[in-house]
Chain A
């Protein structure tokens, strides 16, 4: 049998940082067999900020877990910079929904953690950590232990810890879900300026449509039962974007309409 390559020439498109193709994931328990992801494909380009929205249980965390390499039992192909993902690696750092800081380390040591694992010399570590802490406005809390921080500060510390290892892709799973509206607004603004400066590739899962439109270059709308990508909406707005910008509200309404379409078959609720 002769295999002919019919794809367009390689130079037509840059290689995506992350290429998930035809990913299907079953969860088998004694009671049920859930199809959490059904032939999901998603490509993320370098320096792109992709937001994923969708009702609870549509497989957002599952998809992120596969991209991170935390979950390797699935069908389909997950490529990171052209090579298959076989496990966790610091090139794909994760900011978890729950505060996942190490409680026995202070903020500085937490942010330093990944650098220490890599054997970065002490003076270099200090410089990098100082820079990251400043970025997330925690420079005055570097000696605090995590139980002395507020929820928003914990999430910012987690972000600094992930950024310190200079990941190629940053995977964030509802990082602001547990925060009040005001802290959330502040962090959204901070995130925008942080990523405007460093240009890391980001996949950002959220339940909040407005947040997705404020942060994302593209918004991926997923639908549940089984988990699929329903549509992908481009966000061609200039930054910084504010929550009350007319264009933001307008696009958010469009995303919400997509989601409501999803809702016609499945009951789900959304934060605004």
Chain B
């Protein structure tokens, strides 16, 4: 554990040192390749003037709202497709098709429907994750071993109890996997959407940096985007996956 921390610390020191050396060597001009020190300075400045947090707050709010709606939609669609054969044959096919569509391609349609508004971006975000969640919910239900359903039946489970105590818990490993994939689609399409849009948000802040010709700011915002991504991926979904592994003994793939 100690040695791993040391190794990682040394690695990042070397990377940062190398970066600083190249940046100050004059190989590229500083408005194209900024030094880490000036990136950090820009980050501090933009945090202090409130730009970063305003943008971060706006982005996370859109993400949370879009993702919450997609959870609701995806779960309903997935449970329907997992439980009703004809729904799976019809709606399920459409879900599979739409899931392969890169979600940013919903943006033109969303703009025509909702105008240049938050609603348009949220729509893109929720289209990004809904189908992943629906598909994994469906396969979670379909993947239920018939033996477990029979075991519940011989212990006296009613149809409702079968859903409540067997089918839904059995879905969890597949759901965690699908929610993780859904989140990453949602996050990517949110950034893309905000870049193309003129409203507050991390993606938009990147565009501001470009317009100001401020490479330091562009790097600083990218750093924030990476940190947010890693935190949600590792901390949130990492914890969920560890819990699934502990309880179920495996993680669905």
Binding site for B on A (CB under 8 A): 68-70, 87-90, 92-94, 96, 98, 100-105, 113-114, 116-118, 145-148, 161-162, 165, 171
- Give the interface size class of chain B: 20 to 34
Determine chain B's interface SS by DSSP, over half rule: helix
User: Does A98 lie within 8 Å of B147, measured CB to CB?
Assistant: yes
CB closest residue in chain B, given A97: B147
User: Does A117 lie within 8 Å of B150, measured CB to CB?
Assistant: no
Determine whether B153 belongs to the interface, using a CB cutoff of 8 Å to chain A.
yes
User: Does A113 lie within 8 Å of B155, measured CB to CB?
Assistant: yes
User: Does B154 lie within 8 Å of A147, measured CB to CB?
Assistant: no
Q: Could you say which residues of chain B place their CB within 8 Å of the CB of A101?
A: 151
Are A96 and B249 CB-contacts (below 8 A) given A104-B169, A113-B165, A114-B156? no
CB closest residue in chain A, given B145: A100
User: Does B148 lie within 8 Å of A100, measured CB to CB?
Assistant: yes
Are A90 and B156 CB-contacts (below 8 A) given A100-B148, A104-B172? yes
Are A88 and B153 CB-contacts (below 8 A) given A103-B249, A145-B246, A145-B249? yes
A-B contacts, 14 listed (Cβ < 8 Å) = A70-B154, A88-B150, A88-B156, A89-B154, A90-B156, A100-B147, A102-B148, A102-B169, A103-B249, A104-B170, A104-B172, A113-B152, A113-B165, A114-B156
Render B149-180 as a binary contact track against A, CB cut-off 8 A, 1 for contact: 01111111110010001100110100000000
In Å, the complex CA distance between A61 and B240 comes to 39
Q: Could you say which residues of chain B place their CB within 8 Å of the CB of A113?
A: 152, 155, 165
Which among A96, A103, A146, A165 is the interface contact of B156 at CB below 8 angstroms? A165
Q: Could you say which residues of chain B place their CB within 8 Å of the CB of A147?
A: 248-250
Cβ < 8 Å to A, chain B residues 167-221: 169-170, 172
Determine whether B247 belongs to the interface, using a CB cutoff of 8 Å to chain A.
yes
CB closest residue in chain B, given A118: B156
In Å, the complex CA distance between A87 and B158 comes to 11
Which among A93, A103, A145, A171 is the interface contact of B155 at CB below 8 angstroms? A93
Q: Could you say which residues of chain A place their CB within 8 Å of the CB of B154?
A: 68-70, 88-90, 92-94, 162, 171
In Å, the complex CA distance between A90 and B150 comes to 11
User: Does B247 lie within 8 Å of A104, measured CB to CB?
Assistant: yes
Q: Could you say which residues of chain B place their CB within 8 Å of the CB of A165?
A: 155-156
Q: Could you say which residues of chain B place their CB within 8 Å of the CB of A92?
A: 154
Q: Could you say which residues of chain B place their CB within 8 Å of the CB of A104?
A: 169-170, 172, 247-248
Are A146 and B249 CB-contacts (below 8 A) given A98-B147, A113-B165? yes
Q: Could you say which residues of chain A place their CB within 8 Å of the CB of B249?
A: 103, 145-148
Q: Could you say which residues of chain A place their CB within 8 Å of the CB of B152?
A: 113
Are A89 and B151 CB-contacts (below 8 A) given A103-B247, A104-B170, A147-B249? no
In Å, the complex CA distance between A113 and B161 comes to 11
- The smallest C-beta distance from A226 to any residue of chain B, in angstroms, reads 25
Q: Could you say which residues of chain A place their CB within 8 Å of the CB of B166?
A: 102
Are A117 and B161 CB-contacts (below 8 A) given A70-B154, A165-B156? yes
Q: Which of B147, B158, B250 has the most CB of A within 10 A?
A: B147
User: Does B155 lie within 8 Å of A70, measured CB to CB?
Assistant: no
